[in-house]
Amino acid sequence: MTMEVAESDTDKRQLHSKRKRGDDGDIDLSLLEAVERSHNTVEVLDLKTLKKLVFSFERRLKENIEARLKYPDQPDRFADSEVELHEEIQKLKVLSGSPELYPDLVSLNAVPSILGLLSHDNTDIAIDVVQLLQDLTDEDALEDNDEPARALVDALVENSVLELLVQNLQRLSESDSDEMAAVYNTLATIENLIEVKPTVSELVCERTKLLRWLLAKIRAKEFDSNKQYASEILAILLQNSTANQKKLGQMNGVDVVLQAVALYKSKDPKTSDEEEMLENLFDCLCCLLMPLENKERFVKAEGVELMIIIMKQKKSAYGSAVRALDFAMTKYPPACERFVDVLGLKTAFAAFMGKIPLNKRNKRERYQEELEERIVSLVASLFDGISRGSRRERLLSKFVENECEKIDRLMELYVRYSDRVKAETERLNQLKFEELEMDEDEIYSRRLESGLYTLQLIAIILGHLWCSEHPGMRARIENLLKLQKLTKKDVIDILQEYHDNIGDLDGPDEKERAQGRIQKFISAL
């Protein structure tokens, strides 16, 4: 039985069009015509066939190296070997259909030879190898083949695939569609490697200049598919790595991402792809805002002001700007103070009251719900970050104006989230009664996801308002609780559960401070 391994027209044009970087002279057209007419076949892949493929590839590689050394200034003398080498690389793509043979490919020591071609003088050969690597590491190829995938990825990383891929990326000018495709495939390969081996996300940033390349790419004003993909890869690299977040912050990354986002402060993306890129950029920004030092950089770069402008312009990035502000102000008083100083309260409380700009994107119910939860978190951060002085008074006064309408809104949210959490708690208790295996931590986690976390934040805001000792606000809260057949004890129970589940992720001192603050609310109520 045989399997066709045919070249695409693009592959032929890519190698044989007169694009040899650093080479002069013409390629033998008769040879190209022969390649066009040929059909290469290999037997269905097994170990024996794999050995034949690798042996043939190594032989053509050796011949190409020898021809280039013998005739360095006569491209027409080594053109034949280049075409034949290209053919062998194409044949190796059939391996992606048999990932169970990847450990054998590694043991045959073919990986160093393949990766060596990423530095080939002919960029087209390097592009061939990038396509091969993308195929071999593709998610579809590796499905249900975890061990073989790890064997290949480990070998690739040990043989400097990350360094070679990024070096190749840096020499691609994206001057034509082939190089554009090569950039995309390089990024796809890096993403595939991270999928198989998550530690690659930090290794690639330690060992290469990929972060610098990605920053340069997202800084470009013109939108294209590779800028979109660069934003996605950057978000992946930052997602679960404090080291990468800090490293990018030190590289002026906060400012660069803010500049990229600022292009959309008064306009919407033109396409769904561009919209996705903008979301990726905000994902990057929110990840960057995890370390404390990057929050400081965000404030210095006038990120707070930019987010408020985006909210005021009421474009599609409105919700993303709220999310970024929430990240910036969480446990960082200077951002909260700046927010009040630059008159952000009016904009934030318009959103708090449900005055959210509607467009085709944010009409979705889940979008509005997420935005609502973010705004509650933002207001809670403001109360936590501004403990005294005129800024605190300005914040508190928002809940008194217009006949305490914001307390009415707060209690409306309290009742809605309380009902939702009660329903979920009853459902989980029923599942537990039916002996479904769930421990207390899992039950608590599910309740948090169903709205308990937002309910806790609302209770904390109520605690801040109650501790202000403003008689009008206290009376309003008590009346509204009574109206809903609730008592202060209900709020205290929520606060107590929150108090008891505060972890020590930020250290024992921070845990004690947080618990002390909640205990103060409980005592006051």
pLDDT at 434: 63
According to DSSP, the residues that pair with 2 across neighbouring strands are 43
Owning domain of residue 323: 302-398
329, pLDDT greater than 80:
yes
Tell me, yes or no, whether 419 and 503 share the same domain.
yes
443, pLDDT greater than 90:
no
Average pLDDT of the chain, as a whole number: 88
Cα three-residue angle 102-44-62, rounded to 5 degrees: 60
Tell me, yes or no, whether 464 and 355 share the same domain.
no
202 falls in which pLDDT band (50, 70, 90)?
A: very high
pLDDT at 432: 67
pLDDT at 297: 98
For 201-233, letters b (16+ CB in 10 Å) and e give bbbbbeebbbbebbbebbeeeebbebbbbbbbb
* Closest to 184 (Cα-Cα) out of 134, 248, 144, 148: 134
1, pLDDT greater than 50:
no
Residues 133-144: tens digit of each pLDDT: 999 999 888 888
pLDDT at 126: 94
Instruction: Tell me, yes or no, whether 241 lies in a domain.
Output: no
Q: Rounded to an integer, what distance in angstroms lies between the CA atom of residue 284 and that of residue 265?
A: 17
Q: Rounded to an integer, what distance in angstroms lies between the CA atom of residue 269 and that of residue 362?
A: 14
Of the given ranges (197-201, 473-477, 509-513), which has the lowest mean pLDDT? 509-513
355 falls in which pLDDT band (50, 70, 90)?
A: confident
39, pLDDT greater than 60:
no
Q: For the chain, what is the domain count?
A: 2
**% of the chain with per-residue pLDDT over 90:** 73
The phi, psi pair for 520, rounded to 5°, reads -60, -45
Instruction: Kindly state the average pLDDT of the residues 352-381.
Output: 83
Instruction: Tell me, yes or no, whether 90 lies in a domain.
Output: no
Integer CA distances (angstroms), 76 to 28, 462, 511, in order: 7, 80, 72
Verdict on whether the full-model pTM lies above 0.95: no
Instruction: Tell me, yes or no, whether 473 lies in a domain.
Output: yes
pLDDT at 265: 92
Residues 247-263: tens digit of each pLDDT: 999 999 999 999 999 99
**Residue 265: how many other CB atoms lie within 10 Å:** 16
Instruction: Tell me, yes or no, whether 31 lies in a domain.
Output: no
359 falls in which pLDDT band (50, 70, 90)?
A: low
452, pLDDT greater than 70:
yes
pLDDT at 427: 87
Tell me, yes or no, whether 413 and 513 share the same domain.
yes
Q: Rounded to an integer, what distance in angstroms lies between the CA atom of residue 56 and that of residue 499?
A: 68
Tell me, yes or no, whether 429 and 482 share the same domain.
yes
pLDDT at 495: 94
11, pLDDT greater than 50:
no
Tell me, yes or no, whether 347 and 320 share the same domain.
yes
Instruction: Kindly state the average pLDDT of the residues 143-152.
Output: 90
Tell me, yes or no, whether 388 and 425 share the same domain.
no
484, pLDDT greater than 50:
yes
**What one-character DSSP code corresponds to residue 175?**
-
Domain boundary at 398, 432, 457, which?
A: 398
* Closest to 512 (Cα-Cα) out of 389, 448, 520, 467: 520
Instruction: Kindly state the average pLDDT of the residues 119-144.
Output: 92
pLDDT at 5: 39
Instruction: Tell me, yes or no, whether 489 lies in a domain.
Output: yes
pLDDT at 461: 97
pLDDT at 242: 96
Q: Rounded to an integer, what distance in angstroms lies between the CA atom of residue 387 and that of residue 302?
A: 23
Integer CA distances (angstroms), 243 to 205, 281, 519, in order: 9, 19, 35
DSSP per position, 280-298: HHHHHHHHHTSSHHHHHHH
pLDDT at 280: 97
457, pLDDT greater than 70:
yes
Instruction: Tell me, yes or no, whether 115 lies in a domain.
Output: no
* Closest to 375 (Cα-Cα) out of 449, 318, 309: 318
pLDDT at 154: 96
Instruction: Kindly state the average pLDDT of the residues 385-408.
Output: 94
Instruction: Tell me, yes or no, whether 370 lies in a domain.
Output: yes
Domain boundary at 365, 398, 431, which?
A: 398
Instruction: Tell me, yes or no, whether 514 lies in a domain.
Output: yes
pLDDT at 26: 43
Instruction: Kindly state the average pLDDT of the residues 283-310.
Output: 97
pLDDT at 367: 79
Q: Rounded to an integer, what distance in angstroms lies between the CA atom of residue 234 and that of residue 283?
A: 9
Q: Rounded to an integer, what distance in angstroms lies between the CA atom of residue 393 and that of residue 422?
A: 34
Domain boundary at 380, 398, 416, which?
A: 398
pLDDT at 135: 95
According to DSSP, the residues that pair with 3 across neighbouring strands are 42
